[in-house]
Structures are given as C-alpha cells and as structure tokens.
Amino acid sequence: MGILYGMVARGLVVLAEFSASPQSNASVIAKQILDKIHNKNKNNDNEDSNVSYSHDRYVFHVKRTDGLVVLCMADDAFGRRIPFAFLEDIHKKFVKTYGRAILSAPAYAMNDEFCRALAQRMDYYSTDPNADRLNRLKGEMTQVRSVMIDNIEKVLERGDRLALLVDKTSAMQGNAIRFKRQSRRYNNTLWWRNFRLKAILVLVFIMLLCIMLVLLCHGPLLASCWT
C-alpha cells in the first residue's frame, strides 16, 4: 500500500496536504500530531527531530526541521526507511520551491500547486523500486561485484592460457635441445661410419695394389721389378 497521506506545515499551520484515500481520517490525526508536537516543543521551535506514531494499521512519520514539519502516513509494513526518504525529498522540494514565503504563508496557501507534487512523489516512493536507495545501491554493488568476478575469471583464464603457452614454449625449447643433441650424435655417428668406410676402402686398395705388384714382380720381394 505504501504512503497514503502527505502534509507540509509550519507549526500548526498546514500549508499543503494530499490524501490518496480522501475518505480516511488521516488529515484529522495528522493535525492532532501537529498539536502534540507543537505543545511538546513550545520552548524549542527550531529543534529538529524525526519521530513516528502508530495508529491502527498505519504509522505517521514526522520530520521536523527549522520549524517546518513534513508528515506522511504509511502502511505499518512499509517500514521507516522509505517514508523518511520521502519526507526528506518533500522538505527539500518545498523549501526550494517557496523559499522565505514559507515563513509568512497562510494556511493552505501552497495546497493547490504542491498537492500535485505530494501525489507524484507519494506514488513514486510507494511503487518505484528505485525509490529504495539502499536496495538500489545493493543492486548496483551486486552488479559491480558480478562484473569484477567476471573480470577476475577472465584474468585467471588468461593467466592459465599464458601458463599453458609458457609450458608449451618450455617443452618446445626442451625438444629443440634434445633434437640438437640427437642431431650432433647422429652427425658424429655418420662421420665415424664414413671414416671407417673410407679407411677400409684405402686398406683394400693398398692390399690389391700389393697383390698385383707381387704377381707382376714374381714374388713379395719384387726382385724382378728392381732389375
């Protein structure tokens, strides 16, 4: 149900009011509360205060600042935070709109004009989720936290990818070193194999040459070849 009635007064002088339920007696009870506050603060007209009064299923919330009283009636299940945010909003808007005229204005002087502002702000604070600043901030914080968590996860994922890339790079470097060593050993093996093959060929050639000389010179001493 939200906020059902709103009033702005200077002391006992009601300057503007609006009721979402015209048949209710909210205005009568509000004036009784004004009289009670006035009698209680006769010696401290400028004392600021925020108070609440219960009545049946409803609560009357009152904000008193510099002699200007802003009052509203809300359902008792509506809590205190939103009604007092409404009163703060109405107080600022009323002072900004009328300024010093508030100090001398007669009863209901601003009613025709400002009752529309009361109605509009009452509907806003009663129905719009954004009116609850605390819940709105909590929602914004939740969104920010979700974005931060998402960013952190992306950073961690990127870190995992970098770590994987580093691991792959290290593995490739290790493979390259092993390949270089294996290539060196293989080249050495081929060199020695070629060297042995050449040595064997040279020995075979020398042996064949010796055999031919022995046959041609009629003996190992090559006697016939020297004479």
Cα 34 to the center of its chain, rounded Å: 45
Q: Is the pLDDT of residue 202 over 90?
A: no
Per-residue model confidence as pLDDT tens digits over 186-201: 778 878 888 888 888 8
The model's confidence at residue 45, banded by pLDDT at 50, 70 and 90, is low
Percentage of the chain lying above the pLDDT 70 cut? 78
Given this model, what pLDDT does residue 144 score? 47
Given this model, what pLDDT does residue 160 score? 61
Per-residue model confidence as pLDDT tens digits over 82-137: 999 999 999 999 999 999 999 999 999 999 999 999 999 999 999 888 766 544 44
Given this model, what pLDDT does residue 142 score? 46
Average pLDDT of the chain to the nearest whole number: 82
Domain 3-131 CATH assignment equals 3.30.450.50? yes
Which sequence spans correspond to the domains of the chain? Answer: 3-131, 132-180, 196-227
Given this model, what pLDDT does residue 98 score? 95
Global pTM value: 0.58
Given this model, what pLDDT does residue 139 score? 43
